[in-house]
A and B are shown apart, each in its own frame.
Chain A
Amino acid sequence: MEIIQKLGEYMQYDFVQKALIVGVLIALCSSLLGVTLVLKRFSFIGDGLSHVAFGAMAVAGIAGLTNEMILVIPITVIAAIVLLATGKNAKIKGDASLAMLSVASLGIGYLLLNVFSSSGNVSGDVCTTLFGSTSILTLSDFDVKLCIAMSVIVILIFIFLYNRIFAVTFDETFTSATGIKASAYNLIIAVITAIIIVLAMNLVGSLLISALVIFPALSAMRVFKSFRKVVICSAAVSVVCSLTGILVSIIASTPVGSTIVAIDIAVFAIFALIGRKG
């Protein structure tokens, strides 16, 4: 009872409402795409791209840009295109180039921050970017609007291209043989992946983004066996987990990102058990 009352009180706060809106939208988008990424064997793309975004943020910070997104989104999008869209013909295979790009941006980003940063608390700043810390509770109006706009775009694209995304994910060769431009869809998938990753960094930080992308999809895949059901279930799981995670973290004052991830893991365990029985 006490907890519910306390929650009711928190809900009144502006920052809590913002965090919930952003949290739900990001959870929804990342889980929609997560199904495709997991099935295309790109589970680690979240990690790689978020490290790229981290490096870009470092550069933006040093360059003194007031709005980091101007630099971070384009750089991450380019990295995503390089990784996802050229995947098949590249000389260096997918996982190796992903790992390369990922550690390179993380290393260079941290190095740059240490050498050039004017802030007294470099490791604190870095920790915030890596683990998301509490930045979701201090969102500005602009952050929220940007997130809403981007999420709506991503969701609309996903709905309208749903059938094509399924076909390209299931059997790229057949799909291109029937005259569908599979590479164009790969490109679109790459671009929206990058956008979601950048947005999601606010929520869980760079290190934990993969959890947001893969756990709901994997949970849903334990139980359901058609693509449509998996997508719907994974979206539902993701939204519920993120909502719960944000609320728990506010009440128990735990870090938002890791709380969401912990709940995602618990749900995965439950679904895995159900999947075994069924």
Chain B
Amino acid sequence: MAQLSCKDVALGYEGKAVTEHLSFEVNKGDYLCIVGENGAGKSTLIKALLGLKSPMSGTIETGEGLKPTEIGYLPQQTQVQKDFPASVREIVLSGLLNKCGFNPFYSKKLKEFAALQMERMNISELSDRCYRELSGGQQQRVLLARALCATGKMLLLDEPVAGLDPKVTKEMYELIYRLNREDGITVIMVSHDIAAAVKYASHILHISHTPLFFGTKEDYIASDIGKTFADTKDGGAE
């Protein structure tokens, strides 16, 4: 049984399907890149995988001991209000809530765990800074640390590099890649950056109204759709 499997899933809003007939599996340690044009339903799929939105038909199942709430999530845009007062530490800690159980406060052990995640993301010295005063790249790393607090198994990232400069983009990709390689965390990432997708991912899912491709990246590069896409796009990876 795979860590995550979708069978003939259809997703949409108010009875209208955005995308349908999605079937794919994600195994432990995979790095799946979801690509597709704007409005193809990538973010909608992510929400469905998180259990925030129920599919119109088909099933989404988790397996291999992965609980549906053990998925770390990095949203496409966090609509944090401009004036929200929150320190980096407060935000990272909030990723631990599901580990608290009935304890209303964070235990010392959990706080140390959060500190560890901040170290991992290289944001320890920022921990008392105000989130909204950080640069876009720093903010993304804070949210990634929060996601890592919520999971050690699977990360869902919705366009994690949108709006970042090429250098920071590359750092972000390397960071995610290391999490995947060295820590064995399964990564599912939405991206418009085909070049990077092809470079880092192990599998590619290309969606439109219906899925256009699902398979390993080697097969994707060889496929017609992969060829046309890879030619027209240039991304942050060299």
Q: Is the CB of B133 within 8 A of A225?
A: yes
> Inside 8 A of A63's CB, which chain B residues have their CB?
none
Q: How far is the CA of A221 from the CA of B83 in the complex (A)?
A: 8
User: Do B86 and A170 touch across chains, with their CB atoms under 8 A apart?
Assistant: yes
Partner of A39, one of B52, B81, B87, B105: B81
Whole-angstrom distance between the Cβ of A218 and the nearest chain B Cβ: 9
A145 proximal to B (CB < 8 A): no
Contact yes or no, B68 A179, CB < 8 A: yes
The answer to whether A171 touches B52 (Cβ under 8 A) is no
Task: Verify if B69 is at the interface (C-beta below 8 Å from A).
Answer: yes
> Quick check: which of A67-75, A104-112, A156-164, A236-244 contacts chain B, the rest being far away?
A156-164
One of A163, A166, A171, A225 near B130 (C-beta < 8 A): A225
Q: Evaluate contact between A226 and B90: CB separation under 8 angstroms.
A: yes
Binds B, one of A46-54, A120-128, A207-215, A227-235: A227-235
Cβ contacts B78-89/A at 8 Å (1 or 0 each): 101101111100
Of the candidates A161, A171, A230, the one whose C-beta lies within 8 Å of that of B78 is A171
Do A41 and B81 have beta carbons less than 8 Å apart? yes
Residues from chain A with Cβ under 8 Å of B100 in the complex: 163
Report the minimum CB–CB distance from B148 to chain A (whole Å): 12
Contact partners of B150 in chain A: CB under 8 A: 177-178
Q: A174-B146, A225-B130 are in contact. Are A160 and B104 (CB under 8 A)?
A: yes
Interface membership of B211, Cβ < 8 A: no
- Extra 5 A-B pairs, beta carbons < 8 Å, given A173-B52, A174-B94, A177-B51: A41-B81, A163-B97, A164-B104, A224-B85, A228-B87
Binding site for B on A (CB under 8 A): 39, 41, 159-164, 166-167, 170-171, 173-180, 221, 224-230
17 A–B contact pairs at CB < 8 A? Answer: A41-B81, A161-B104, A163-B97, A163-B105, A163-B106, A166-B94, A171-B94, A173-B73, A174-B75, A177-B51, A177-B52, A178-B69, A178-B73, A224-B85, A225-B87, A226-B87, A226-B130
7 A-B pairs with least C-beta separation: A179-B69, A225-B130, A226-B87, A167-B94, A160-B104, A177-B50, A178-B98
